[in-house]
Structure formats: structure tokens, C-alpha cells
Amino acid sequence: MSECGGRGGGNSSSSSDDAEDEGGGGGGSAGSGSFSPAPAGASSAGRLRRGLRGASLMARRRPELLCGAVALGCALLVALKFTCSRAKDVIIPAKPPVSFFSSRSPVLDLFQGQLDYAEHVRRDSEVVLLFFYAPWCGQSMAARSEIEQAASQLSDQVLFVAINCWWNQGKCRRQKHFFHFPVIHLYHRSFGPIEYKGPMSAVYIEKFVRRVMKPLLYIPSQSELLDFLSNYEPGVLGYFEFSGSPQPPGYLTFFTSALLSLKKDYLGTVRFGVITNKHLAKLVSLVHSGSVYLHRHFNTSLVFPREAVNYTAENIHKWALENREALLRWLRPHGGKSLLLNNELKKGPALLVFLPFNPLAESHPLIDEITEVALEYNNCHGDQVVERLLQHLRRADAPLFRSLAPEPPAQLPDPSPIAASPCCNTVVLPQWRPVSRTHNVCELCVNQTTAGLRPSSAGVPQCSFFEMAAALDSFYLKEQTFYHVVSHSVECSNFLSSYSPFSYYTACCRTINRAATGFVDSAQGVFETPAVAFSSLEEKCHVETPGSLPHIEENRYLFPEVDVSSTNFTGLSCRTNKTLNIYLLDSNLFWLYAERLGAPSATPVKEFATIVDVREESHYVLDPKEALRKFTLESFIQNFSVLYSPLKRHLIGSDSAQFPPQHLITEVTTDTFWEVVLQKQDVLLLYYAQWCGFCPSLNHVFIQLARLLPADALTVARIDVSQNDLPWEFMVDRLPTILFFPCSRKDRSVKYPEDLPITLPNLLRFILHHSDPASSPRSRADPPTKECVRSEAVFQQGHISHLEREIRKLRAEIGALQRAQGQVEAQLSSARRDGHRLLRQKQSLEARHGLLRLHSEQLRALAERKARELEELARRLQELADASQDLLTENAWLKILVATMGRKLEGRDGADELAPPREARPDRPEPSGPPRLPGSAPPPPNVSSAPASERSEENRTG
């Protein structure tokens, strides 16, 4: 038995990791029969370190195994994530489409998007309407009933096909790419598509389909020719002789040009007609078959130049569009974001006429009257052709129809509007002052003097409208001449024209009450109704709400002798710098626009007219009580065209019902401005706006002012100018602005100085200074009477009493404020003491916090030192445990050896004990005995020597 196993197991320490892994800390040969038990004191930490060391050893030996294990672990994690995650989203396929139209509908519904079948049926029909829709589209649903209604009227002549162009499996969705729905396309045989972009209304759709069905109007007689030429839409006429052939040359080209016009301009503003009568064609200068004529009302009409331009449908359509003349224009805004109205209103003042329009009606009397107004308004040169068309519109007996061949432009009339012969008119002039109840009625004459003869309308021809307009314009410039006409006598004056130095005017005026009748005595030229003196404005602060000022063309019932014939209105657009563009709108579709422009929301007849002038930032409304007809439109246009227009700018204001009556500050609106500001006592008016940041800071000043002054002497009011319009004379150019309207002098309002701070004392001085009766012209003209002085003293005494009461109230408030101030000071002192006490407590807590923080740091350092000591103690204990394990192993071997030696000693005799000891070999060291434990007895000397000799013997024998 070898001894290296035990020795090596007890004392040798291998530096090789292999020996440690294979032997487990103690080594021995397989044939030695020895064993090495596991250390009893081994900890779990040691096992973990050995396991990690083994893993690192395996990684160095077999790196491919480690990489494979890592890849396998990642794959396992990914599989677990996808296996344990939630299920995938399930997308339900779209439901198959269903029929959009009912089975009884006259519309063929291809709800699966069969575009190929639609193309097949289109080739077999003459006129086809294709309605492309999306089932979810609200506009498509709304247009469905309109399409059915139009189809019920035209199903025997037109094929109506509806195609679902939204289903993803249909051919329509794959081949058509529409940006909106619904879309309407019309086909006329092989021509198309003609897209319809008008209103989605049954009557408009039916009208457009009928125009596609019959793009050319047949003109068989002179009466129908006049109807065609007098229409407000531009007209194109073609002359073709059908006697020689069933289809004359060029007819198909002209027919295609009419369809092309409908395709390019969906409103259909160019009408195409056909003449087959040779004598009828000569009236419009058409001699040769295939000639094309473009009619224009005010410019020279044209004939298509076939010699210079190729005779094609595209060229005819382009020629007609480039040279057409628009008399009236329909506006059809689509209801979304659009610049249509903005672009049209930028062109200049516009007359917007709202009227109920039925496209399928045979005649439109109101449109004929509007057309007549437009023709007269733009007939600047007195064209005879236009006059004949006007006679036809008036249904008068037209004279023999002469040729309408293109003629050279007529000579311009004499630009001077003033006639050489004298003429007179009786007119009612506007009020000179807004506070007046009266009007000046004047006999205004042109080129007539008062030398020895007072002007009279008897035996003197009436002046035309433009002559009177020029006279009135010059008379307005001389208004200071008749500023104080309040007597019963007639005052006359002569003045030169402000436009022509060779013309002069005579005005004999007298002031009468507005309600008076019987203005003129035609026999004597004097006024029968006596003048009504001014009411004392100094005693009554009252102003009547201004109404529409009567003018010469508005007062035929007051002045029967004034006859404004249509010749005065003819060519007005060329004699004014405020030329109007006339537009038509269907009130059945666009009444909302009319309401925003001032039309009443509830009216039995939806007729409304307004003039919008964007450059002047104003618009004028025709009185809704007036019937919309030719005479009212002419008067409306004439009033707008004069230099000093009597029309009242339409004012938009907020609802006065939303401001309840207040005791301190009165809220003024557009409707209540005249009642509050100009019909009450002294008024202090503040102009403000919601976006004005400085305006709210003045509220407390005006509240104090309203509380300080009596309500029966002064009204403090304010108006939001961002929500309420006022006449131009009452507008301001900056905010906030303060105006003071005295009771007796409303026309002499005073503006608060801009450089003066807006404070209560300054406002009081401003009001008292401008409301002092001593500063009025009346007090300087007439000395005050005793009654006036007494009433003034009573008023001042009442005012003083009121001020004394206010002072007592203010003193009481000051006392209450002083008592409240004492209480607040006591509370502040108590709060200061509490603050000092809290400060001391805070300092004490901060000191304690510092000590606790120092103690915590000391404890942390002590804990760290104790932890290091414990680690050192644990290390030493581990070393001691390892040493004790080695001692236990050696102790076991010693026991075995002692037992062996004991058995051998028992067998020997005593002779061996007396034998002398051997000499020790000098080259072999003395074997050292086993280590002695503390407190154990030293081994006998023979115990240590005997094993040594025994081992030597065994080595020799072995």
C-alpha cells in the first residue's frame, strides 16, 4: 500500500484545476484502497464558485457547445413569447354590396361595380346618365331621391345607370379614381363624358339632361328669333339648308360644338340655335349655309371667320367663349370652401338678386324684367337693336324687324348732362341735421334765374334724372346756404354748377314737416302747407330714428308731375363711376346667403336684392317690403349711382335682447343706439371691443362714475364696436374712445382728450365742463330768466344733496375700511409672531437634523468597519475549518498506524527492546511526527520510530 495517497491527500496542494476537479481536493491511486470523504464544512457559496469555474473551463475547452446552448436558449424564449402571447387580430372581410336603389326604381343599379356592362348598355342607347356613387356617402344618399325623380320623368328617353364605384372587387373601383362622390356623367351617343357639376336637385338635373338631349334650339320664326336674342344668356346661331341633303355639311360639327360647350361650361351660359329659313337667316347676316353668328347686345355681333380659322367644333366653341358678352350671371356656390363670391365681388360693386327659380318653367317673367333692367342699364349708346329687343321683352308691338348685321359703333352722345333749355323739378331734400324733424322742399331748376320770376313747375318741362342728380350734387355742396331755413317764407338762391361753368341752378326752398301733405301749389308755385317750427331741442332731448330719405325717383305719389321715364335710366352704367355687375342666385338653394346679407328669415316670397361694395366696406339692402320688380330695381340702382347716395348702409348688430337693463352702465347695440344715445339726456359713451386689452381696466372707473352722478341727469353707456355697426359719422378710429353727447346739442358731441389719463376726477371735470348750460349758445344769446334761475337752483340744490349723500356714504365706507384695516393689522402682527416662532422651530429642527445626519454618518462608518471585520473573521474561520479538516484526516491515519504498530509490538519479545538503536542515515531526514493538538500528550518515542522503520522495510520489500 502506497503512502503517497495519504500524504498527498493531506498536505499537498495542487495548482492544477484538473486535479482539483477530478480528485475533489484529495488525491489517491485507485489501487491503494484509500478514500477521501467530502469536506463536511463546505458551503453553498463554494459550490457555486466551483460551478462557475467549471462553466468557464467548459467555455474555454468547447466554445461551440456554449454558443449552441445560447442559441438554443434564445430560440426557446422566442417560442415561448409567441406561444404565450395573445392571439392575432382577425379581420372580418367586407360584406358583399347590396342594391342602392329599390327594385321598382327606374334607375339600373349596378351595385357590384360592373363597369363593363355599363359600357355595353351605353353603346345601345342614345343618351345615358351614369351615376357613380359610394354606399356610405351622405351626398350620394341625398342625391338618390333626386336622381330617381329625374329618371321618372325621362326614363322613356334616357337610360339612367347607377354604379357602385366603391366596392374593392368591382371594375369601377379599379378603373375609376374619383376624389368625391357622387359623380354624374352624361353621354350623347358617342360623345362624352359630359360631367354635371350643378346643384344636386331633380329639376336642375332634368334641365341639364334635356339640354344634352337637345343641345340645339330650332328657330322657325321671327318671334322665336327675338326670344332667342333677347335672352340674358349669350347666343350662337347657325344657318343650315336641309333641302339639298338630309344632313348639310358642317351641321355635325356645329352640333358637336354645342355639346362641347356643355362639357366645358356646366352652367350652359352659351345657347346654340339653328336657323333653316333663308329669309330669317338674312336678318342676322347669315347668307351661306354653315355660317355661325354670335349675338352680342352692346358690342358688335360677330360671324365665325371660316376663311381664317378651321371650321371645327373646338374652334367654334373656343371662339364663342372668348367673344361672348355676359349680361347677367348666375352664381351657384357649392356650399364648401370656395373663392367664387370673393373673386366676383373684387371686380367691383355687385347687385345680388335672389329669386325663386324653376329651371323647367316655360317662362320667367321676373328674369325678363331683370334682363330688361340690365339691357337699359348697359345701353350706353342707345343701340336700336337693343331698343327693339326691349320692346319685345315689354311685349309691345315691335316695328318691322330690320337687319341685325354687325354695324359700326354709334357715336357717343353728348357727355354734358345739362340741357340748354330750362327745366324744373320739385324735390324733397335730405335732412340737414340728424336731429331735425323737418325736410326742405325745394323747387330746383336748371338754367333758370329768379330775376323777376319765381320758378314754377307750371309750363316748364321736367328735368331728367341725371340733370337733377347733377343739380342735387352741386346743391349739396352749397348746403350752408339753406342751413337754417325754418321760416314760412320761400328763400331762393342761385349757384353755379360744380361740374360745368356754363350751367347754373336755382333753388327755392321751404321747410315743412315730414308728415305734411299737399306740398306744391302748381298754380301759384308756392306751398300750401304752412311750415312747422322747430321743436325746442333745448327743452326736449329727442331725436327721431332716421328713415330712408325720399328722393325724386322714389316719390311719384308725392309729386305726380315728376315723370321719370325709362330713358333716364338708359345707359346709366356709363355715366357713373360705380358701375354695377348684376348676379342672380336661386333663393330656393342659397337663401342662407341672403339672410346673412340682411334678408328676413321668415318671408312668404323669397325675393331679395342687395348691393355689395367691398371697396367701400358697405352694402345696401332693398327694402324687403318693396316688391322685386323693374321699377324698384331701377330706383335702387339710381339711388346707389348718385354722388351723395340717399341709401342707408345696412348695419349688422348684435341682439339687444341678450343685454338686460342695467342700473349703472347701459349696453348699446346697433338697434338701440338712436334710442339710448340720441333720445335721452347727457350720454357718456365708451367704445370698446372684446379684443381690446386696456378696455376692461376702465370698468371700475365708469362704475364709480355711474354711482356718483344721478341717473336722471347722465347716462353712462358703452358699445362693442366689433359686434355692432354704426353710421360712419359715429365710428371711431381707435379703442378705447370716449364721446360725450350733450342733451341739447347732440350734433356737437365732444371727444375725451387722448392725452388725458382716464380717471374719475378727469371724467367729472370733462362732463361738468361740457354739460354746463352757461356754455351753450342759447345762454349766450338770451339772458336767463327768473324761472330758469330758480329751476337751475333747485337742480343744483338737488345735485348738492345727492353729492352730500354720496359723501356720507363714502365716509361710512371709509370708516368701515379703517376698522377693517385695524383688524387686518392685528391679524398681521399675530401672523408675524407666529412666523417668528415657526422660524425658531425651523432653526431648532435644522440643528437636530444636522446632529442626526452626523450620527447617521458615524453609524454608517461603524457598520462598514464591522462588516470588514466580519469578513476577515469569516475568512479566518474558513482557514481554521480547512486546517481542522486536515487534522482530522491525519488523525485517522495516525489511529490506523497506532493500531498497526500495537499489534506488531505485542508480537515481539523483550530482546528487541534491549538492542541498541541504529545509526541514523545522514542523508535521510528525521521524519517528523504528526502535529500535536493543543493539550494532547506527546507521543511515545517508539511510536514515531517504529513506523519509520516499518516503512523502510516495506519499501525494501516492495
- Pairwise CA distance, residues 224 & 300, whole Å: 21
Q: Is the pLDDT of residue 446 over 80?
A: no
CA dihedral of residues 49, 50, 51, 52 (deg, nearest 10): 50
Span 179-222, pLDDT tens digits = 889 999 999 988 889 999 888 999 999 999 999 999 999 999 88
Q: Is the pLDDT of residue 241 over 90?
A: no
Grade residue 830 by pLDDT with cuts at 50, 70 and 90.
very high
Predicted pLDDT of residue 772: 56
% of the chain beyond a pLDDT of 70: 67
Strands 665-668 and 618-621: unpaired
Side chain identity at 193, as an amino acid letter? P
- Region 142-150 average pLDDT: 94
Predicted pLDDT of residue 163: 95
* Helix/strand/coil percentages in the chain, nearest 5: 40, 15, 45
- Region 395-407 average pLDDT: 48
- Region 142-146 average pLDDT: 94
Predicted pLDDT of residue 185: 94
Among residues 126, 137, 122, 131, the alpha carbon closest in space to that of 150 is found at 131
- Helices then strands (H, E): number in the chain? 25, 24
Please tell me which residue, 679 or 174, carries the higher pLDDT value.
Answer: 174
Whole-angstrom CA distances from 780 to 368, 535, 719, 783 are: 63, 20, 34, 7
CB 101 within 8 A of CB 148: yes
CB 732 within 8 A of CB 749: no
Grade residue 461 by pLDDT with cuts at 50, 70 and 90.
low
Among residues 573, 810, 793, 789, the alpha carbon closest in space to that of 704 is found at 810
Predicted pLDDT of residue 40: 41
Residues 6+ apart with CB under 8 A from 481: 493, 495, 507
- pTM of the shown model: 0.56
CB 185 within 8 A of CB 132: yes
Q: Is the pLDDT of residue 942 over 60?
A: no
Q: Which cell is 320 given?
A: 364663342
CB 282 within 8 A of CB 232: no
- Pairwise CA distance, residues 887 & 910, whole Å: 34
- Pairwise CA distance, residues 602 & 611, whole Å: 21
| CA 138 from centroid of its chain's CA atoms | 22
Span 254-279, pLDDT tens digits = 999 999 988 887 666 788 999 998 88
Grade residue 166 by pLDDT with cuts at 50, 70 and 90.
very high
Grade residue 559 by pLDDT with cuts at 50, 70 and 90.
very low
Q: Which of 474-483, 745-754, 877-886 has the highest mean pLDDT?
A: 877-886
Grade residue 59 by pLDDT with cuts at 50, 70 and 90.
low
Grade residue 911 by pLDDT with cuts at 50, 70 and 90.
low
- The interaxial angle of helices 760-770 and 699-708, nearest 10 deg, is 50
Whole-angstrom CA distances from 301 to 355, 404, 522, 627 are: 30, 8, 49, 35
Q: Which of 60-69, 207-216, 433-442, 612-621 has the highest mean pLDDT?
A: 207-216
* Mean pLDDT across the chain: 75
Residue 674: which H helix or E strand, with range? helix 673-677
Give the lowest-confidence range in 251-255, 350-354, 397-401, 898-902.
397-401
- Pairwise CA distance, residues 842 & 828, whole Å: 20
Predicted pLDDT of residue 352: 93
Q: Is the pLDDT of residue 116 over 50?
A: yes
Q: Which cell is 844 given?
A: 431648532
Predicted pLDDT of residue 449: 56
Give the lowest-confidence range in 51-60, 307-316, 785-794.
51-60
Please tell me which residue, 654 or 611, carries the higher pLDDT value.
Answer: 611
Give the lowest-confidence range in 89-93, 304-308, 843-847, 901-905.
89-93
- Pairwise CA distance, residues 755 & 400, whole Å: 77
Residue 295: which H helix or E strand, with range? strand 291-295
Strand partners, 656: none
Q: Is the pLDDT of residue 562 over 50?
A: no
Strand partners, 913: none
CB 263 within 8 A of CB 319: no
- The interaxial angle of helices 138-154 and 202-213, nearest 10 deg, is 50
Among residues 265, 378, 289, 246, the alpha carbon closest in space to that of 325 is found at 378
- Pairwise CA distance, residues 198 & 700, whole Å: 57
Q: Is the pLDDT of residue 128 over 90?
A: yes
- Pairwise CA distance, residues 923 & 901, whole Å: 26
CB 607 within 8 A of CB 355: yes
- Pairwise CA distance, residues 331 & 354, whole Å: 10
CB 110 within 8 A of CB 163: yes
- Region 834-856 average pLDDT: 94
Among residues 261, 113, 133, 116, the alpha carbon closest in space to that of 194 is found at 261
Span 803-828, pLDDT tens digits = 888 899 999 999 999 999 999 999 99
What sign has the CA pseudo-torsion 509, 510, 516, 517?
negative
Q: Is the pLDDT of residue 462 over 50?
A: yes
Predicted pLDDT of residue 351: 93
Span 300-354, pLDDT tens digits = 888 999 888 899 989 998 999 888 888 888 888 877 777 888 888 889 999 999 9
Residue 685: CB atoms within 10 Å = 22
Give the lowest-confidence range in 9-13, 429-433, 784-788, 917-921.
9-13
- Pairwise CA distance, residues 208 & 259, whole Å: 11
- Pairwise CA distance, residues 398 & 385, whole Å: 11
The alpha carbons of the chain give a radius of gyration, in whole angstroms, of 58
Q: Which DSSP letter does residue 462 get?
A: B
Predicted pLDDT of residue 661: 66
- Region 826-834 average pLDDT: 93
Q: Which cell is 739 given?
A: 364721446
Residues 6+ apart with CB under 8 A from 256: 191, 313
Predicted pLDDT of residue 856: 94
814 SS3 class: helix
- Region 554-583 average pLDDT: 64
Please tell me which residue, 895 or 70, carries the higher pLDDT value.
Answer: 895
Give the lowest-confidence range in 27-41, 473-487, 701-715, 812-826.
27-41
- Region 30-44 average pLDDT: 41
CB 186 within 8 A of CB 212: yes
